[in-house]
């Protein structure tokens, strides 16, 4: 399976995917493209180091959003991925891209959807809101991307306890280590193995009940 990974920042989730491919946790998969909207993203350094083709294109280079959206669609189509992986990608994926890759785009979100998700819930903000609300459990979710924001069918979720002395930064890091870097590679591998199906807007995973994660 060929995957395109879309990033905007540090790229620790991209790194988790690269590492899982090289240690065999993800099978039958190669990264055909890393795309970043942000020229300063450290994720690009990670792609370079791993010898993965990458493209940087910022919406700011375009006169309007529609032209950027078309360009993004073209970049993705040229790479011919079987799956598009949003790994900390801050670009809102346009409808034309969602339609071109139906149930073939996945996203990692740093909370237990449907809590703390939707417009405005990204980056540290998510963890700030979690601490402000005082919930005891947070976590991460891998889901398919549809036309809404964080509304697509859920593939995997992992819970992480909130600690009394947490800061948004500490919680963010723990959720990455304990949840995101595990469930994103796992979801990609399950998709590569053909074990993930979407029926009626719900995900069915072959052998789900015996999965340990």
Under the rule (CB under 6 A), what is the footprint of ligand GRF? 7, 9-13, 43, 87-88, 108-110, 176, 180
Euclidean distance between CA atoms 149 and 205, whole angstroms: 23
Indicate which residue of 109, 127, 174, 182 is catalytic.
109
For residue 172, give the nearest of 43, 181, 39 by alpha carbon. Answer: 181
Catalytic residue status for 109: yes
What's the distance, Cα to Cα, between the start and end of the chain in Å? 22
CB of 22 to ligand GRF, least distance (A): 17
Nearer to ligand GRF, 92 or 210 (CB): 92
Euclidean distance between CA atoms 79 and 32, whole angstroms: 6
CB of 98 to ligand GRF, least distance (A): 17
What pairs with residue 154 in β-bridges?
143
- Sheet holding 2-7: strands in order across? 54-56, 30-36, 2-7, 83-86, 105-109, 137-144, 154-161
Nearer to ligand GRF, 7 or 203 (CB): 7
CB of 139 to ligand GRF, least distance (A): 11
The tokens of 7 are what? 């990033």
Closest residue by beta carbon to ligand GRF: 88
CB of 84 to ligand GRF, least distance (A): 14
Nearer to ligand GRF, 155 or 193 (CB): 155
Euclidean distance between CA atoms 37 and 107, whole angstroms: 16
Nearer to ligand GRF, 10 or 168 (CB): 10
Give the residue numbers marked as catalytic.
109
């Amino acid at each position: 399976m060929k995957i395109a990974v879309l990033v905007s920042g540090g790229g620790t989730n991209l790194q988790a995917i690269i590492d899982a491919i090289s240690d065999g946790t993800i099978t039958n998969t190669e990264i055909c493209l890393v795309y970043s909207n942000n020229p300063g993203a450290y994720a690009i350094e990670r792609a370079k180091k791993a010898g993965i083709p990458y493209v940087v294109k910022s919406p700011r280079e375009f006169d309007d959003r529609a032209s950027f959206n078309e360009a993004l669609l073209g970049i993705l189509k040229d790479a011919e991925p079987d799956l598009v992986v949003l790994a900390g990608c801050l670009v809102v994926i346009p409808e034309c891209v969602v339609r071109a890759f139906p149930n073939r785009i996945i996203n990692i979100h740093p909370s237990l959807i449907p809590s703390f998700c939707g417009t405005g819930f990204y980056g540290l903000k998510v963890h700030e809101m979690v601490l402000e609300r005082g919930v005891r459990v947070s976590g991460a979710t891998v889901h398919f991307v549809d036309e809404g924001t964080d509304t697509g069918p859920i593939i995997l979720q992992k819970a992480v306890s909130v600690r009394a002395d947490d800061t948004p930064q500490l919680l963010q890091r723990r959720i990455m280590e304990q949840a995101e870097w595990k469930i994103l590679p796992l979801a990609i591998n399950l998709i590569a193995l053909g074990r993930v199906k979407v029926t009626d807007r719900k995900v069915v995973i072959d052998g789900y009940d015996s999965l340990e994660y």
